[in-house]
Structure 1
């Protein structure tokens, strides 16, 4: 069995995860990446999406992030996220309401030349949060 690697996920407001894990998989802007202990150091930007990891006991965990940066070192992964939520902390009803609002805004943006990029980002954020909240595991 491979050794564990330290995972730190922090936002400007709080520390979301600080634990030893078996593997980390994240949504890099150049594609999804996976990190095990002993990985070659690198730094990357992150897309909005899901950080998945297996905790030291082998349970799969998921964290929604809305972008940021990841630094991989041989014994530690640090994710600096704009925002991050554990699956259990996502209010799925609130996320569904946000999805409906975002869909309406997106339709209006197309008709009235409003801020399309902002409306699309809100839609993507709601979809990712619902996906994480609806997934199996923890």
Structure 2
């Protein structure tokens, strides 16, 4: 059995997960990375994506996270998400609304930096939509 560590996934609305896990994969700012027990201390911002959580009993869950931070210590991993939901609970209309809002933000962007950030966010959302929702 893999060594476990404490994992918490928190959004402003609620504590979604607080359990012992063997592995967590999170969408860090520079790409996805895996956290195992005794991981080196790390802190990163999150990009929109899917966090995969494998509990010590082998059960796995996936959560969509929209921004936030991840704090990793050798004993724990805490994800503080701007918004998070279990993949199985995804509301197609909510995701489509986020994509529509991102398109409007892109159209309203006033400078290259804002336009670039809005485009990156829209690209992440549409990639996420394709990855988790069947056509």
TM-score by length of 2: 0.76
- Corresponding residue for residue 112 of structure 2: none
Provide the C-alpha distance between the structure 2 equivalents of 1:32 and 1:104, rounded to a whole number of angstroms.
Answer: 25
Residue by residue over 1:45-100, the C-alpha shift from the partner in whole angstroms, topping out at 9 and shown as x without a partner, is 1111111121222133211111111111112100111100101211135434654x
Provide the C-alpha distance between the structure 1 equivalents of 2:103 and 2:43, rounded to a whole number of angstroms.
Answer: 37
- Unpaired segments ≥5 residues, structure 1: none
> Does the 8 Å CA contact 1:95/1:130 hold for their aligned counterparts?
no
> Does the 8 Å CA contact 2:102/2:118 hold for their aligned counterparts?
no
**1:31: Cα distance to partner?**
2.4
Residue correspondences, number: 128
Provide the C-alpha distance between the structure 1 equivalents of 2:95 and 2:33, rounded to a whole number of angstroms.
Answer: 26
- Unpaired segments ≥5 residues, structure 2: 110-114
Go from structure 1 to structure 2 and tell me whether the alpha carbon gap of 1:78 and 1:89 turns closer, same or farther (over 3 Å shift). Answer: same
> Does the 8 Å CA contact 1:54/1:61 hold for their aligned counterparts?
yes
TM-score by length of 1: 0.75
Runs of 4+, deviation exceeding 2 Å: 92-99, 101-106, 114-127, 129-134
Provide the C-alpha distance between the structure 2 equivalents of 1:46 and 1:29, rounded to a whole number of angstroms.
Answer: 5
Go from structure 1 to structure 2 and tell me whether the alpha carbon gap of 1:59 and 1:47 turns closer, same or farther (over 3 Å shift). Answer: same
Q: RMSD over aligned Cα, in angstroms?
A: 2.7
